[in-house]
Structure 1
Amino acid sequence: MIDTKVIGHRGAALLAPENTLASIRAAAEAGATWVEIDVSLINEGGLVIFHDNTLDRCTDGSGPIRKALPADVALLDAGSSFSTEFAGEKVPTLLEALECIQALGLGLNLEIKHDANDVENIVPAVMATLRDYWQDEDKLIISSFNYAALQLCYEIDSYRHLAPLYDDIPENWQEQAEAIQAYSVHCLYSRLTQPQAQQIKAAGYKLICFTANDPNVVEPLWLWGMDAIITDDPTKFASLLDS
């Protein structure tokens, strides 16, 4: 299913404001055919593409993202902190991002950002939106550091391609992957060991690593079986995009 070696991180976070439509377009313009973005829950059940727990770093707003009202988030400037060139760029809703990605013909790795235990407040809404507005199952992977979120995804739709996310791969990774019939395992490239990579591949899973912006630092990982790298700048991996 995964038909690329390069996935743009938060769109293309070094080329345009992360997790914006501009960043998604920048990834496509750079030659990436897949992007990774983050979906977060805001007030009144809204779903937006945003990474942080607070608005401060990436917008001209402040305070917890979870408490922000949809009408207020729609007015935020998510581009000026990156560059004046992107002044006025908005925080997209999940639906806006899905429409943009599909219009560009891209594959999507959608990460569910949710640190709390109440996954029932975000997962069903995300899954319903994907059911209604995402067309090609083979071009979608749902990932999360929150394993309970992935469990609920699996309960709602066992046919989706799911992926546990890890900084450090735990000893019970295979048990977790098997329980949700995971498609891939996603991990921090710098903490991955060769035996872990070989175990993941031997068990039949795709191996996707994040977040590298220098091709040289991940060169050995291709030999270990890594299937794709998530990067802030797809142009750094232009030779892999061309292939």
Structure 2
Amino acid sequence: MTTNTVLDTKVMGHRGAALLAPENTLSSIRAAAKAGATWVEIDVYLIAEGGLVIFHDDTLERCTDGAGETRLALPAEVAKLDAGGYFSAEFAGEKVPTLLEALECIQSLGLGLNLEIKHDGADVENIVPAVMAALREHWQDNDKLIISSFNHSALLLCYEIADGRHLAQLYEAIPENWQTELANIGAYSLNCDYSLLTKEQAQAVKAAGYKLLCYTANDADSVTDHWDWGMDAVITDDPNKFAAMMVG
């Protein structure tokens, strides 16, 4: 388990700030910063030809004017997609960022990054080494970086490649074997669905020495109890909803 202090915020923007601008875009990252968030969570996704882009879905339809499986999309095709027009006319022409573009933007704003490896497949060797190499070459402050995933195999490979990184196991509902899985990756935090978390689970995670991050709460009242239980940070689509937590 990583014990040094990394997380210096109680509020983290989800997919940038997904209620304020098109999710997982540079505009969304900037919107999170404008709202006062000092950390953002974004998703890195593997596409064709080994391309790494900031995207969440397995298909292109919901967040772009494209169609088809995200994994099969060619980088040159993805670069032409409109990833903002669906959100509002103001963001028409917004692009799907590459991982490197996002890293540059986030660091230029002085933000911390929770980078989720969005990969459901077993072939984690096709995404993890490339992501880790990009971070090694283009991300400067290790204490402003958390790498998270629902895919435990992906995190195991992250740990094997670079055990100095701060890793977070993602869950919806926390499973019985969470302690074993977190120990396997030398985890920094457990990140889970706030609506499925119990007081007993939260207290057990904190007692075991891990940070506890909860997603995706967009109403401050919905996680009032969670702060009392020991939640360290909330992941939200609208950081403005938690302005009081960002004071100072």
1:153 aligns with 2:154: no
Query: Any residues of structure 2 matched to 1:119-198 within 5 Å, and which?
Result: 119-198=124-203
Per-residue CA deviations over 1:46-91 (Å, capped at 9, x if unaligned) read 0000000000000000000000000000000000000000000000
Query: Any residues of structure 2 matched to 1:7-86 within 5 Å, and which?
Result: 7-86=12-91
Give the distance between the partners of 1:152 and 1:139, measured in 2 at CA.
20
1:230 aligns with 2:229: no
Give the distance between the partners of 2:182 and 2:142, measured in 1 at CA.
19
CA displacement at 1:146 relative to structure 2: 0.4
CA displacement at 1:241 relative to structure 2: 1.0
Write the letter of the residue equivalent to 1:241: M
CA displacement at 1:127 relative to structure 2: 0.3
Per-residue CA deviations over 1:157-214 (Å, capped at 9, x if unaligned) read 0110000000010111011101111000000000000010000000000000000000
SS at 1:40's partner residue? strand
Aligned to 2:3: none
1:114 aligns with 2:119: yes
Runs of 4+ in structure 1 off by over 4 angstroms are: none
Give the distance between the partners of 1:176 and 1:238, measured in 2 at CA.
34
Aligned length: 243
- Residue in structure 1 matching 2:103, options 71, 74, 98: 98
Give the distance between the partners of 1:156 and 1:150, measured in 2 at CA.
10
What percent identity do the matched residue pairs reach? Answer: 74
Aligned to 1:241: 246
Give the distance between the partners of 1:148 and 1:64, measured in 2 at CA.
22
Aligned to 1:201: 206
Give the distance between the partners of 2:80 and 2:27, measured in 1 at CA.
16
RMSD value, Cα: 0.4
CA displacement at 1:44 relative to structure 2: 0.1
Give the distance between the partners of 1:55 and 1:180, measured in 2 at CA.
31
SS at 1:110's partner residue? strand
Give the distance between the partners of 1:21 and 1:220, measured in 2 at CA.
33
Give the distance between the partners of 1:41 and 1:179, measured in 2 at CA.
24
Write the letter of the residue equivalent to 2:192: C
Q: Show structure 2 runs of 5+ residues with no match.
A: 1-5
Give the distance between the partners of 2:223 and 2:203, measured in 1 at CA.
15
Give the distance between the partners of 1:225 and 1:39, measured in 2 at CA.
28
SS at 2:218's partner residue? coil
Give the distance between the partners of 1:242 and 1:85, measured in 2 at CA.
29
Give the distance between the partners of 2:121 and 2:189, measured in 1 at CA.
23
Give the distance between the partners of 2:238 and 2:75, measured in 1 at CA.
30
Per-residue CA deviations over 1:118-150 (Å, capped at 9, x if unaligned) read 000000000000000000000000000000000
Q: What's the TM-score, normalizing by structure 1?
A: 1.00
1:87 aligns with 2:64: no
